[in-house]
Chain A
Amino acid sequence: MRWRRLRRRPLALAGLVGAVLFVAVAIAGPWVAPRNPLALGQDTLRAPAPPYWFGTDELGRDILSGVLQGARVSLVVGLLSAAGAVLVGVAVGAVAGYKGGAVDEVLMRVTEWVLVVPQFLIVLVVAAIFGSDLGLVIVVLAAVAWPATARLTRAQFLALGGREFVVAARSLGASSRRVVLREILPNALPPIVVAASLQIPSSILAEASLRFLGLSDPNSVSWGGMLNQAQNFLQQAWWMPFFPGAAIFLTVLSFNLAGEALNDLLNPRREV
């Protein structure tokens, strides 16, 4: 029945299709790509035309192949750092909301601090100083992105903590661990899932921003990195920024639409 709601919303459906398409490209990209995206060629700065459907860059590299291959980095960073942020956020929020008191106070002060601090600049500084290795970027992005989930989870725990089924479980002698993990968390989950799905596009954007600023590995292809390179050729080659940027835009848009669709499915009371 809820799926029927979704079918009446073509945009949400488009978002889901786009997100699935993106994952497919990220998995299959390297095999589908017509050329090696790092291979230099004689045909430099070619406008889009067969056999270079998206044109070539100043070193004769095929842009279409780069766009196809770049999806993988975006997907890995987007999924893993969003997952990390949500895990940390849920853990912090659950402990704060369940324990209350001084623990809650301390955790919430820390959360507020991370929320107020200029997060992107910190990520930028860390990536620039310690190298923009993929694993590190994922960890740092997760390290600044968790507070929103933590606040949401805490609010959910505060709201659910006093409800009858929780009190009942506790009076039956359930351990705190069991109450938190088996009673409260499953009921607190729907809005957290929505927040997690919206964390993916914002991680993808943050990663692309780092690469755009030139913090990328020259031996791997990323969309942001391609835009960084394009910055010097805006006058000669519109296709250099256009296609990788469009890939970022469409991916982020798809995930945002899909997140709204998810919100619609999980929180049917809320009408957008």
Chain B
Amino acid sequence: MALFVLRRFVLLVPLLLGMVLLGFAIVKLAPGDPVQVLVGDYPAPPEYVASVRERFGLDRPAWVQLVRYVGEVARGNLGYSFFYNEPVIDVLRGRLGATLLLMSAAFGLAAVGGIALGVACGRRPGSWTDHVLMVLGLAGYSLPVFWLGQLLLMAFSLGLGWFPTQGMRSLTFGAAVPPALDVLHHLVLPAVTLATRYVALNVRLMRTSFVEVGAMEYITTARAKGLAERVVVWKHGVRNALLPVVTVMGLNFGHLVAGAVLTETVFAWPGLGRLIFDSILHRDYPVMLGGLLVVSVCVVAGNLLADLAYAVIDPRIRYESRA
């Protein structure tokens, strides 16, 4: 298992290198001169402009700049943010937690809700529950995440006043609510918004998979042995039906990031997605590139977790033998 994890980390290198190259190419091709932005619009003496250019190494050929950038990134230095006046790493660190919290909450909801509802459908295919949930599933899958966010916000925050309208924490100091509960309270709507599409997707996958597994002989055997229905469904059925769901969830991490950017925008959630978007508007390229890299690492880590979950769920899969 350790070997397998190690190999996956090695595979990460070309992926991240590709990401760095792509980001670098985009920035190089971008219209506008970053030095001009730094110097400002006032007419500056050309010697000063040249000295700024030299100080940041921007007078060197593009490939020298690229090699230097890659070297710095490899040492964990993502550069300096001109907009926030902080090292990029510090800017990102402040935001990463918020995004991970949002994404893992949504992921948890999608896993638990999707699997439970999918089993409910798959146990009685063709029943009313099944029909209704399948239609809802298709609807949930087609909902634009930002629109759902706006609707929930209008209904439950602005209308009923049950949840705060934006942000991650209340602004009032010394509130009666403990901070963790306060964050949780802020988290409910964004997490539900982000999760809906994946709950819908998981319900459909889980149902199909569960119906397939249900027709297998070992299920009949388990029933014939006189096992309790609960054991048959959850230990024999669900566990085997989970595999395709886990694969798709792993592949959907990248998608989840996109949803997170949109959700963060609707609810003003102080996360990484929103930060990357703002950094583009500010022409704060170091933050943008760093953010893209961090997100890529998260996506790959998600895929890796999905592979490991595989081995936990299905004891037939053992990674050592392949190493």
Q: Counting CB contacts under 8 A, is A80 at the interface?
A: no
B129: Cβ under 8 A from any A Cβ: no
A235 within 8 A of B: yes
Q: How far is the CA of A209 from the CA of B259 in the complex (A)?
A: 9
Interface residues in B153-202 by Cβ distance below 8 A to A read 153-154, 158
B317 in contact (CB, < 8 A): no
Whether A115 sits at the interface, judged by CB under 8 Å, is yes
Q: Which of A124-146 contact B (CB under 8 A)?
A: 124-126, 128-130
The answer on a CB contact under 8 Å between B292 and A125 is: yes
A252 x B261 contact (CB < 8 A): no
B281 sits at the interface (CB 8 A): yes
Which chain B residues border A260 with CB–CB below 8 Å?
138
Q: Does B135 contact A (CB under 8 A)?
A: yes
Q: Bits for B284-308, please: 1 = Cβ < 8 Å to A, else 0.
A: 0000100010011001100100000
User: Which residues of B lie under 8 Å from residue A208 when comparing CB positions?
Assistant: 144
B143 contacts across to A, CB distance below 8 A? 249
Residue of A nearest to B262 (CB): A209
Q: Does A253 contact B (CB under 8 A)?
A: yes
Q: A118-B296, A120-B261, A125-B288 are in contact. Are A130 and B150 (CB under 8 A)?
A: no
CA distance A201 to B296 in the complex (A): 25
Size of interface on B: residues with Cβ below 8 Å to A: 48
Contact call A118/B299, Cβ cutoff below 8 A: yes
Q: Mark A65-94, 1 if CB is under 8 A from B, else 0.
A: 000000000000000000000000000000
Select B151's contact among A124, A213, A245, A253, beta carbons within 8 Å: A245
A22 to chain B, nearest CB (A): 13
Interface string of A231-259 (1 = CB under 8 A from B): 10011001001100110110011001100
Collect the chain A residues with CB atoms within 8 Å of residue B15's CB. Answer: 113, 116-117
Assembled-state Cα–Cα distance A124/B295 (Å): 14
Which one, B18-26, B65-73, B228-236, B237-245, is touching chain A? B18-26
Interface membership of A212, Cβ < 8 A = yes
- CB-CB < 8 A to B310: which residues of A? none
Q: B residues 32-46 with Cβ under 8 Å of A?
A: none
Interface size on A, residues (CB 8 A): 41
Contacts of A212 in B (CB 8 A): 144, 146, 262, 265
A122 within 8 A of B: yes
Q: Which residue of B lies closest to A234 (CB)?
A: B154
CA distance A238 to B22 in the complex (A): 41
A119–B258 CB distance below 8 A: yes
List 13 additional contacts besides A116-B296, A121-B295; criterion CB under 8 Å.
A118-B296, A121-B276, A124-B276, A125-B23, A128-B280, A130-B29, A212-B262, A227-B146, A230-B150, A238-B154, A241-B150, A249-B143, A253-B142
A-B CB contact pairs (8 Å), 27 listed: A113-B14, A113-B18, A116-B299, A116-B303, A118-B292, A121-B276, A124-B277, A124-B280, A125-B26, A125-B276, A126-B26, A128-B281, A129-B280, A208-B144, A209-B146, A209-B258, A212-B265, A213-B261, A213-B262, A213-B277, A227-B150, A230-B150, A241-B147, A248-B144, A248-B147, A249-B144, A253-B138
B-binding residues in A (CB < 8 A): 11, 113, 115-122, 124-126, 128-130, 201, 205, 208-209, 212-213, 224, 227, 230-231, 234-235, 238, 241-242, 245-246, 248-249, 252-253, 256-257, 260, 272
Task: Return the 5 tightest CB-CB contacts between A and B, nearest first.
Answer: A120-B258, A245-B147, A253-B142, A128-B280, A252-B142
Task: List the interface of chain B (C-beta within 8 A of A).
Answer: 14-15, 18-19, 22-23, 26-27, 29-31, 135, 138-139, 141-147, 150-151, 153-154, 158, 208, 251, 254-255, 257-258, 261-262, 265-266, 273, 276-277, 280-281, 288, 292, 295-296, 299-300, 303
